[in-house]
Amino acid sequence: MVDTVQAPKSSVSTSSVWQLVKYIFLAFTLMLLLLTCLHFVTLGLGIGTESNAAVDFESNSITLNLGSEPPQLNSTRSTDMVSGQILGHVMEGLIRYGPNNEILPGIATSWDISELTGTFYLREDAYWSNGTPVTAHDFVFAWQTAVDPETKSQYAFILYPLKNAEAIKSEIMAVEELGATALNDYTLQVELEQPTPYFIKLLAFFTYLPINREFYESTEGRYGTNAEDLIYNGPFVISKWQHGSRLRLEKNHTYWNKDETRLDAIDFGYILSDPTATINLFATEKIVMAGLQAENIERALANGWPIKEHVDGSVFYLGFNHREERPTSNRNLRKAIQMVCDQEELVFKVLKTPGNRPGESIFPVWLKGVEGFFRDEYPAPKHERNIELAKQYLNNALNELGLSEPPRLMFLTGDSEFSTKHAEYYQNLLKQNLGIEVRIDQQIFQQRLEKMTSGDYDIVAAGWGPDYDDVLTFGDLFTSWNANNRGLFKNDELDQNVQIAQQSSDPRTRMEAMDRVQHILYEEAAIIVEYERGSSYVADDRVQGVTRRAVGTDPDFTRAYLVKPETE
């Protein structure tokens, strides 16, 4: 049999190649045409971000990156850190924090606070960006709005020291009953539910910011959703807010203290969460600040960038599920796990970034005590890894639980890359030392919250950031009535001590109660404190006067200024 079909000598010939070249040429022309069209379409839609340099001396402005976009900027309803940062730049409350975290007069020039009342005297030269004066009525309106059940504010609890606030939120009283009244345009009187020694520190929180009623009502429910649906009384105004891509702040010329604002504009030109991409922006001088992870610290060093450190104030811990049906409700099991933990190993070998401090107590080191720092006055319980002791605890736990082998535990954690490594570290730790099998349950944010709330876990990786500058912001976390106590830990002595701290106005009594709290938490192994978070970041050294803080606006550029390098 012979093949009758002859294969063509060659499937290629010069002319078909020429034909192809013609196609290529045509395609190329079309491509150019398309690019030009797309270019003009993009420009026409106005969805672009201009690519400014990180530091622009000519316009006296800087460019920055935002990790995420503020959901909205209605201060009565904000909950997240990014919103807090922006609000801190464009709004001002009764007080503000200075460069060294001292309390400075804001809209209030002076105040008298006694046990249950407070009077604030407001400055008369403060104006909103639309020209209307900032008055005591604006504060009353904002606070009433925040506790109004209609507003559905999730941070209303921070106003609960105000008289009747909680009752209003619970729909028992009308909003007018709130313990805040404008005696006249520039005098604000406040009544408190019970003595609240830390009340003055709360006033810097964003839920306490003023809102102009007339303007609020004119936006028909859109207040805070767009740049034009807001008016400002702080050092900056939002001049442009392109959702998803850009937020530009410009100097507020109606601000009473405008001479202290030295930058003309702060451009949040990128909304970007990818850490490597953020570093790339910094590397090409597009932004003035970028956070560093363990993975890219060496890159920053090799490039000779100035690296800075910042303690953001939050404490990370392993939370146990104390519900009865869970093995972790057994104290001996929790103690066993506590005894195999070595916080220094975690910080030095797993986190690998400087600035983190091995956790010893739920109260971080920066909290103030009676006179100095709380932790200097009341040292945290001493902890050292002790495998032998841990094994004893485990044996006791197994006897009490009636088990022959260690129970399998569910470790609930988040979906970030670090969460994985962190969970794997504990998985290995518990398996090698105690033979406890740990299953890692990685969940995206909302599902994790759901599982934490419903109690579908044994151990959860959690953290807590401070809302205000007082020990109680951490101290009341594990009380039986706190909704954030999702592991349902219950200890009567702890509850009593927290109540003492809430009601007493004597600092020593309060701090002693809090000292009991940190010891109870350790003795009961209610949680295992892992570390106090510190972060490293690279910052352009042509920008000076930036304040970083644990509580309040962070980072704070309101007093930042530009310095020209000498060599140029």
Residue ranges in 175-214 that form contacts with other proteins under rule CB under 8 A: none
Phi, psi of 196, deg, nearest 5: -130, 90
Please tell me whether residue 25 binds other proteins under the rule CB under 8 A: no
221-240 residues in contact with other proteins (CB under 8 A) are 221-222, 224-225
Among 18, 194, 371, 480, binds other proteins (CB under 8 A): 18
Q: Of 69-77, 101-109, 391-399, 543-551, which segment contacts other proteins by CB under 8 A?
A: 69-77
506-545 residues in contact with other proteins (CB under 8 A) are 536
Among 348, 399, 496, 544, binds other proteins (CB under 8 A): 348
Among 3, 58, 384, 492, binds other proteins (CB under 8 A): 3
Please tell me whether residue 494 binds other proteins under the rule CB under 8 A: no
- What is the residue-wise DSSP string for 487-552? T----HHHHHHHHHHHH---HHHHHHHHHHHHHHHHHTTSEEEEEEEEEEEEE-TTEE--B--SSS
Give the span between the Cα atoms of 276 and 369, in whole angstroms. Answer: 39
Among 304, 372, 492, 568, binds other proteins (CB under 8 A): 304
Q: How do beta strands 307-320 and 459-464 pair?
A: antiparallel
Count of CB atoms situated within 10 Å of the CB of 50: 9
Q: Of 38-46, 178-186, 192-200, 233-241, which segment contacts other proteins by CB under 8 A?
A: 38-46
Give the span between the Cα atoms of 70 and 527, in whole angstroms. Answer: 31
Residue 7 is classified by DSSP as P
**Block residue for tokens 């936006």:** 219
Among 117, 184, 276, 395, binds other proteins (CB under 8 A): 276
Among 105, 275, 291, 545, binds other proteins (CB under 8 A): 275
364-403 residues in contact with other proteins (CB under 8 A) are none
Alpha-carbon distance values, 21 to 11, 25, 26, 30, 158 (Å): 16, 6, 9, 14, 71
Q: Of 340-348, 391-399, 489-497, 499-507, which segment contacts other proteins by CB under 8 A?
A: 340-348
Q: Which helix (H) or strand (E) holds 463?
A: strand 459-464
Contact between 288 and 304 (Cβ < 8 Å)? no
Q: In this complex, which beta carbon is closest to other proteins, that of residue 256 or of residue 464?
A: 464
Compute and round to an integer the Cα radius of gyration of the chain.
Answer: 29
Q: How do beta strands 180-184 and 103-105 pair?
A: unpaired
Q: In this complex, which beta carbon is closest to other proteins, that of residue 46 or of residue 131?
A: 46
Q: Give the count of residues interacting with other proteins (CB under 8 A).
A: 131
Please tell me whether residue 101 binds other proteins under the rule CB under 8 A: no
148-167 residues in contact with other proteins (CB under 8 A) are 149, 152, 154-157
Please tell me whether residue 488 binds other proteins under the rule CB under 8 A: no
Q: In this complex, which beta carbon is closest to other proteins, that of residue 121 or of residue 157?
A: 157
Alpha-carbon distance values, 144 to 111, 127, 175, 183, 279 (Å): 21, 21, 6, 16, 43
418-477 residues in contact with other proteins (CB under 8 A) are 419-421, 423-425, 427-428, 432, 439-447, 449-451, 453-454, 456-457
Contact between 332 and 396 (Cβ < 8 Å)? yes
Q: Which residues contact 183 (CB under 8 A, 6 or more apart)?
A: 119, 136, 189
Q: Of 188-196, 198-206, 412-420, 555-563, which segment contacts other proteins by CB under 8 A?
A: 412-420
241-270 residues in contact with other proteins (CB under 8 A) are 242-245, 269-270
